[in-house]
Structure 1
Amino acid sequence: MVIALFHAVEFEADTVIKRLRHPVRVSERFGASAVCGGLGHATAVCVSTGVGKVNAAIASSLALQKYRPDMVISMGIGGAYPNSGLVAGDIAIAQCEIYGDEGVMLEDNFLTPEAMGIPFYKKGTNTYYNTFPLDAELTRQLYDTVSQMNRTAQAGAFITVSTCTGTRKRADELTRRYNGICENMEGAAIAHASTMFGTPAVEIRGISNIAAERDKDRWETTKASQIAQDAVIMFIKSLE
């Protein structure tokens, strides 16, 4: 089994990479770095995509084409929305990923791609607007793994943005529109690419901060990254 692990920056996968058997760093032509090695019964390909939707879309698409993984894990840190009940140090697992910025901003309303009638992607009988589901069975297995860690965890919708939330007003607006629990900058692009390639995908993020009033002194990025990686390692080792 080959598993592609996508993360925006290298510290979000440094522990996983240290646990790989016989790691080999691969220089990728698309600017992202990749480290391949054994983990559990799988071959893991850890790809650092770079920050943001465009970087994530390019790096994940090219890696999916090159390595043809059996499964994708999108991992890293994220900000929890105030009404989610999550706090720094908790774990969030995506049931779906939503492009949060795409649409039309009106004076007193916001039109989503579905309201506009413009899908992002069509595959067979399925039409995808700005929402891309993650694999339901693998997500359940991932949640079961996390439940063994004595960590507070929650599964729900993730929102991917280009402009990060820095006010409570914006956090409440996105929560009302999409009922999301966690914000990030790459996940929807990776879920989108995985859907196009037909590769089952899951996403997990350690909560580093509350996505509302911006106060970096209270962020716990190292802790959040570590707990997400611990969960990923446990999850991969649990797979046959």
Structure 2
Amino acid sequence: MSRTLIVTAVTAEADAVCAGLMGSWSRGRTRLPAGPGNLVSPDWDRQLLTTSTLGPYVGRRRGPITVLAAGTGGPAAAAGTATALAVASAAGQPFDLVVTMGVAGGFRGWAEVGDIVVAERMVAADLGAESGLDEEPPSAPAGRISEMDRNLGFHAAGAPTRRGPDGRGPTGSGTFLTLDDLGLGSSTVRPEPELVSRLHTVLDATGRRIVTGTVVSVSTVTGTERRASALTERLDPVAEAMEGYAVALAARSFGVPAAEIRAVSNPVGRRDRAGWNLPAALASLRTAAAALVAHPEGLVAAEALPAAGGTAAAGSGPQHGSNGAR
């Protein structure tokens, strides 16, 4: 049986995923006598989870699925993922798939609050170097561009720096250089198209809007419209989170496929906590986890699938929305 590691950043996300794994309340199969000595509610009809010790981490498990809250940001997520994979492999029970799950910001026009996002690309959006002028022009406006925005490819006037024909290379001063530009590796991890397609199909059964496309991983969450525009100009993403790229790299080092599923809690842009809806996002996360339990075929890595007469062809570009349209 295929074993899956689900990695979240914080406990609240892990709780939502675990709630989905456990099932729903019902007055069904078992009735326990009421009384002060009875520690389990007579209405409890969920699948209980067991704990799973993975080095210094404690995960929660239902059958072949283990949920681990590894910490916020790429370094913590990569450390937790690598440790869990190493411990499981040493125990002779290796994981076959790693899935990052959690809340995310959605880019306007692509993903709205409550939508579920499946990554077709995981991109380290702010991992690289800046190149160009090292000081602001004397005529720069009072609201000077921040260092983070400059790193993402903006000059002082606040307009996105033009990219080369391939969308990566620099064309002028103030350009952001990716790992690819620097010859230091790749800033992008692409999950198996077959896996993305299966996850989309399984999650579509939830009735929620499912969006596929680029999910950017950042070290600093976007808090300005300027930076949101810069990311859109450079990468055309559908959602922003912090851990997906790092988790995928850790999984790759063990030869394990990775995927990323996000539930949108807020629009990407000016930081406005009043516009966040974490309960809605966590509810979508719980619904997504329940769908994965109900349809475990979605959590099978492509190489583990039996040979079939044909496979769905992967599109040449991102498909946004359940019908592939914006």
Alignment TM class, shorter chain as reference: 0.7 to 0.9
The separation in 2 between residues aligned to 1:5 and 1:101, in whole angstroms, is 24
For 1:60, which of 63, 73, 81 is the aligned residue?
81
The aligned residue for residue 89 of structure 1 is 114
The separation in 2 between residues aligned to 1:223 and 1:33, in whole angstroms, is 27
Deviations along 1:25-53, one digit per CA (max 9) or x if unpaired, are 245444x4311222xxxx11110011010
The separation in 2 between residues aligned to 1:16 and 1:201, in whole angstroms, is 17
- Deviation at 1:17? 2.3
- 2:61 matched to 1:25? no
One-letter amino acid of the structure 2 residue matched with residue 213 of structure 1: R
Q: Provide structure 2 residue ranges, at least 5 long, that are not aligned to the other structure.
A: 23-46, 89-93, 134-173, 298-326
The separation in 1 between residues aligned to 2:54 and 2:5, in whole angstroms, is 14
Structure with greater proportional helix content? 1
- 2:238 matched to 1:212? no
- Deviation at 1:158? 0.8
Deviations along 1:138-175, one digit per CA (max 9) or x if unpaired, are 21111012222222221001110111100010011111
- Deviation at 1:23? 2.1
- Deviation at 1:221? 1.2
For 1:48, which of 34, 47, 69 is the aligned residue?
69
- Deviation at 1:210? 0.7
- Count of aligned pairs: 225
The separation in 1 between residues aligned to 2:73 and 2:85, in whole angstroms, is 18
The aligned residue for residue 179 of structure 1 is 236
Which protein shows a greater Rg? 2
The aligned residue for residue 118 of structure 1 is 184
TM-score normalised to the size of structure 1? 0.88
The answer on whether the counterparts of 1:13 and 1:229 sit within 8 Å (CA) in structure 2 is: no
Equivalent residue of 2:238, what SS?
A: strand
The answer on whether the counterparts of 1:78 and 1:184 sit within 8 Å (CA) in structure 2 is: yes
The separation in 1 between residues aligned to 2:86 and 2:54, in whole angstroms, is 13
For 2:125, which of 100, 105, 118 is the aligned residue?
100
Which piece of structure 1 moves more, 96-105 or 224-233? 224-233
Deviations along 1:78-98, one digit per CA (max 9) or x if unpaired, are 00122x421111111101111
The answer on whether the counterparts of 1:205 and 1:225 sit within 8 Å (CA) in structure 2 is: no
The answer on whether the counterparts of 2:17 and 2:286 sit within 8 Å (CA) in structure 1 is: yes
- Deviation at 1:116? 1.1
Q: Provide structure 1 residue ranges, at least 5 long, that are not aligned to the other structure.
A: 120-128
The aligned residue for residue 225 of structure 2 is 168
**RMSD over aligned Cα atoms:** 1.6
TM-score normalised to the size of structure 2? 0.66
Distance change >3 Å, CA 228–CA 16, structure 1 → 2: closer
Matched-pair identity in %: 30
Deviations along 1:172-203, one digit per CA (max 9) or x if unpaired, are 11111122111111111011111221212221
The separation in 1 between residues aligned to 2:273 and 2:261, in whole angstroms, is 22
The answer on whether the counterparts of 2:16 and 2:285 sit within 8 Å (CA) in structure 1 is: no
The separation in 2 between residues aligned to 1:237 and 1:114, in whole angstroms, is 39
Which 4+ stretches in 1 moved above 4 angstroms? none
Structure with greater proportional strand content? 1
- Deviation at 1:232? 2.5
One-letter amino acid of the structure 2 residue matched with residue 97 of structure 1: M
- Deviation at 1:22? 4.4
